[in-house]
């Protein structure tokens, strides 16, 4: 459209979810090269950046979006400078979109709440018994998205450390299969991705 700068796109949250499902389907088919995947993610990020900010925000939709954009450190594995630039542009667009949600303060307020809820097991799509052994991909992806939410919302260190400490304190080392251990595991996921985001370091310990 050739409208004015004030003409924002109206992207319903359900439509964004459907778009994410389509993108993931394309990625999982194995038919999309890395460059195409990066362009699709950049296109989505730019559409969201230029969309009308949601007033009532569904946090699960936001996390699904953020899960498509891994930390910059992981992008660096590809030595193609052009692809790196595309990923950086996508990240910048996502940050602009994120900071405009709700009343403008939604992201920062939601970030710390999401980090805490994740550690306590309140944001997982499965029960505690499903992750007594091994690493669950969905759990790690949720942790990655929450770390991105905290990092892009402002002072990621202040938003992440309280949740990390919450899961690590008062956990007996012998209780490896208890809910307490699962909290510790989720804290370590936040710590891992917080470090990959460049938000956390050993200085917070």
pLDDT of residue 174: 53
Structure tokens at 12: 């319903």
Q: What is the pLDDT of residue 80?
A: 57
Q: Decide: residue 180, CB within 10 A, 0-12 exposed, 13-18 middle, 19+ buried.
A: middle
Residue with more model confidence, 6 or 65: 65
Q: Which residue has the higher pLDDT, 86 or 106?
A: 106
Please tell me the predicted confidence (pLDDT) of residue 1: 40
Q: pTM value?
A: 0.82
Residue with tokens 């009343």: 103
Average pLDDT over residues 148-160: 91
- Tell me which residue of 85, 100, 90, 2 sits closest to 47, measured CA to CA: 90
Mean pLDDT over the full length of the chain: 82
Angle at 51 between CA 24 and CA 190, to 5 degrees: 50
What integer pLDDT is reported at residue 4 of this predicted model?
39
pLDDT of 169 over the 60 cut? yes
Of 103, 134, 118, residue with least CA distance to 63: 118
Widest Cα–Cα separation across the chain = 64
Smallest Cα–Cα separation from 66: which of 44, 34, 85?
Answer: 44
């Amino acid at each position: 459209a050739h409208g004015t700068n004030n003409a924002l796109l109206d992207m319903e949250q359900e439509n964004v979810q459907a778009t994410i499902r389509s993108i993931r389907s394309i990625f999982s088919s194995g038919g999309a090269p890395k460059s195409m995947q990066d362009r699709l993610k950049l296109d989505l990020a730019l559409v969201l950046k230029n969309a009308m900010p949601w007033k009532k925000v569904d946090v699960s939709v936001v996390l699904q979006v953020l899960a498509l954009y891994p930390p910059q450190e992981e992008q660096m594995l590809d030595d193609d400078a052009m692809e790196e630039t595309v990923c950086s542009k996508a990240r910048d667009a996502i940050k602009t979109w994120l900071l405009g949600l709700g009343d403008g303060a939604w992201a920062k307020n939601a970030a710390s709440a999401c980090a805490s809820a994740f550690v306590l097991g309140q944001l997982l799509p499965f029960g505690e018994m499903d992750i007594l052994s091994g690493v669950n991909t969905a759990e790690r992806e949720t942790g990655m998205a929450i770390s991105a939410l905290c990092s892009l919302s402002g002072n990621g260190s202040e938003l992440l450390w309280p949740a990390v400490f919450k899961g690590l304190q008062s956990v007996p080392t012998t209780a490896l299969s208890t809910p307490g251990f699962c909290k510790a595991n989720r804290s370590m996921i936040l710590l891992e991705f917080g470090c990959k985001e460049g938000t956390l370091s050993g200085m917070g310990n």
